[in-house]
């Protein structure tokens, strides 16, 4: 049996430089969860359908089960663990999820929050229909979505009020 060579990659994860060698077939979600212990990124379907694994790659919402680690070589990756503010307080999008009781089991929540954060830079209006459409790639089996949509609308309003331009980081 031939052993596949490891390939060196370097990237920035939650503001910290990371350099390591991985098998070429390594998925980004596995790199995050298994090699970097960032288990806040959840793994649901593994087929790019549920959105639980959503992270930001260079600011864009990305399903990390659908991307090879090699494809993010040199990129900036932001996960739910990197979202809190410098003083340790929760990001406005996280606070909005709490205020609107936008989670039950919480499995979808990291992906929903990251998708919501990405909407700020995408220019998605903070209103229910636009947010619902933008969330079409993120599935929740518990909440019925109303709280999630309301939370994302409020989170977007806060992000835009406090960071003109709406950048996540």
CA dihedral over 104, 109, 112, 113, signed as positive or negative: positive
**Residue of the chain from 33, 63, 91, 115 that contacts ligand FES (CB under 6 A):** 63
Alpha helices in 8-108 (DSSP H): 28-30, 92-99
Q: Please tell me whether residue 141 binds ligand FES under the rule CB under 6 A.
A: yes
CA 85 to chain centre: 16
Task: Kindly tell me which of 53 and 168 has the beta carbon lying closer to ligand FES.
Answer: 53
Task: Kindly tell me which of 12 and 49 has the beta carbon lying closer to ligand FES.
Answer: 49
**Residue of the chain from 134, 143, 152, 159 that contacts ligand FES (CB under 6 A):** 143
Task: Kindly tell me which of 95 and 163 has the beta carbon lying closer to ligand FES.
Answer: 95
Alpha helices in the chain (DSSP H): 28-30, 92-99, 109-122, 128-134, 146-162
Question: Is 1 buried (19+), middle (13-18) or exposed (0-12) by CB count in 10 A?
Answer: exposed
Tell me the closest approach of the beta carbon of residue 163 to ligand FES, in angstroms: 27
Contact footprint for ligand FES (CB under 6 A): 43-46, 48-53, 63, 65, 103-109, 140-143
């Amino acid at each position: 049996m031939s052993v596949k060579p490891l390939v060196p990659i370097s990237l920035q994860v939650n503001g910290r430089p990371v350099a390591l060698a991985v098998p070429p077939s390594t998925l980004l979600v596995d790199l995050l969860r298994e090699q970097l212990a960032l288990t806040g990124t959840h793994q649901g379907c593994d087929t790019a359908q549920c959105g639980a694994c959503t992270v930001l790659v260079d600011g864009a919402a990305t399903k990390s089960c659908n991307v090879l680690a090699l494809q993010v070589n040199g990129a900036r990756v932001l996960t739910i663990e990197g979202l809190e503010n410098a003083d340790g307080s929760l990001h406005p999008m996280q606070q909005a999820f709490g205020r609107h009781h936008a989670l039950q089991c919480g499995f979808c929540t990291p992906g929903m929050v990251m998708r919501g954060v990405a909407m700020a830079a995408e220019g998605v209006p903070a209103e229910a229909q636009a947010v619902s459409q933008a969330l079409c790639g993120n599935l929740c089996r518990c909440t019925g979505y109303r709280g999630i949509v309301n939370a994302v609308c409020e989170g977007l309003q806060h992000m835009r009020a406090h960071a003109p331009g709406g950048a996540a980081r």
